[in-house]
Amino acid sequence: MVSGMPTNAPALLVTGAALHGRPGPHDVLLRDGAVAAIEPSGSIGADALAEWADRAGAERLDARGGLLARAFVEPHLHPDKSFSLSELDPAEASGLDHFARSSRIKAGFTPERVARRARRAFELAVANGVTRLRANIDIDSIAGLRGFEGVLQAREEVRGILDVDLVAFPQEGLGRDPGALPLLREALRSGADLIGGWPNVEEGEAEQRAHVRTVFELAEEFDVDVDIHADCWLDERERMLEVVADETIARGYQGRVLASHCCGIERYSEEDARRVAARVAEADVRVAIIPLNLVDGGPRGLSRPHELRRAGAELVVGSDNLNDGWYPLGTLSPLDRAYMTLVGGGYGDDDVDLVWHMVAAGAAHALDDRGRADAEAWRTPDVTTGMPADLVLLGARDRLEALRRPGGPLTTIKAGRVVARRSVDEAVAGAEADAPIAAGAGA
């Protein structure tokens, strides 16, 4: 269940919660949209919190030992196209490639239809513990501004339960689709928060470099940050990530650029990969790896995350597409994305905290903070006093258990107010608790 617009909610006292980085259960007071106090359960401090909560008429939420954590962040989604695959006849869809399917679908966009689907995606994200989302919206000669208008409407409808940043994204290119440029300017004048790009769709290196330059010129013209698709295919000829880093440094845009996908680096020589990773870190270009790229084949499709991190680059994890012309699947669950990254990215059990950081606090930092993050920030306590009360309460008692059960119980808290709940009942019909294992089962 996802709730609607907020009211002047009273304070909220969460009792008996597990907190990462703090032993034992804790009681946490949320007040005025922030974490006001944290005390060990059963302590004098916790008693004082409970007494104050009773006097103030605060609401209570019994965590029952579940993990209370920072809310998740979705740094890369295309909500204008989410749930749109059903708008294309299956027989027609099977004969088209990704580009053609997507183009055919968005040619039929209406603001009303896009708004309805985008809101569905936004509410699904909130139900999965997301309180901040970055939305890429196709703006080109095919979609015009219809998709943008629809997502703009959906953003207003979920205001108060989800913060949404809008990226004006020229998926069809700029050289290939010169009509996109005036539409991008109109979107940036009308509410878009960032300028996007995809240089690799252009024909030839010169046109690709020109695409990057134009994107940065628009960023400077409107004083907005850059969110750019780069090197989306597992192909060593995909070489725009380094160009983006160079342009970032040349224009003084360090810390203001997010590059997504970045799969080409997987195919580079070790020497080239080290050079590009070092340049990305120097430019403070944040990289969004996309676990769905695993379905495209190749060694990983996850952007050499270890090499980039060793070089000092910040990494986040995004969803990309959801049941549209590019991918038929997708759950908008950060726990699913973290699990896929942990397994597909070659991480080990000891890296759970690092990968969790990429879908939570690290992702929030990458979208907001223009200064370089503390390289060890993922080791610090997750919930602290004074931080915004955008939180998620999980049925699991720790991060590893949460990744084992990504569909478990979950409560989303936005600005100190419960905005979504997911309860889960698990039962096996006809099973006897003490029944012996069937013969031949097991090892």
Residue carrying structure tokens 């070092």: 278
Question: How big is the chain, counted in residues?
Answer: 443
255-271 in b/e form (b: 16+ CB < 10 A) is: bbbbbbbbbbbbbbeee
Residue 70 structure tokens: 């920072």
DSSP per position, 188-233:
HHTT--EEEE-GGGSSSHHHHHHHHHHHHHHHHHHT-EEEEEE--S
What is the distance between the alpha carbons of residues 139 and 267, in angstroms, rounded to a whole number?
Answer: 30
Grouping H, G, I as helix, E, B as strand and the rest as coil, residue 178 is coil
What is the distance between the alpha carbons of residues 25 and 18, in angstroms, rounded to a whole number?
Answer: 5
> Mean pLDDT, consecutive 10-residue segments, the chain of 443 residues?
53 97 96 96 95 93 97 98 88 78 91 98 98 98 98 98 98 97 98 98 97 98 98 94 98 97 95 97 96 73 89 95 90 95 90 96 89 68 94 97 93 98 82 47 35
> CA nearest 335: which of 412, 389, 243?
412
What is the distance between the alpha carbons of residues 20 and 361, in angstroms, rounded to a whole number?
Answer: 13
Give the pLDDT of residue 443: 33
> CA nearest 344: which of 326, 309, 317?
317
Query: What is the value of pTM for the model shown?
Result: 0.92
Grouping H, G, I as helix, E, B as strand and the rest as coil, residue 26 is strand
Q: How many CB atoms are closer than 10 A to CB 378? A: 18
Q: Are the C-beta atoms of residues 73 and 319 closer than 8 Å to each other?
A: no
Give the pLDDT of residue 298: 63
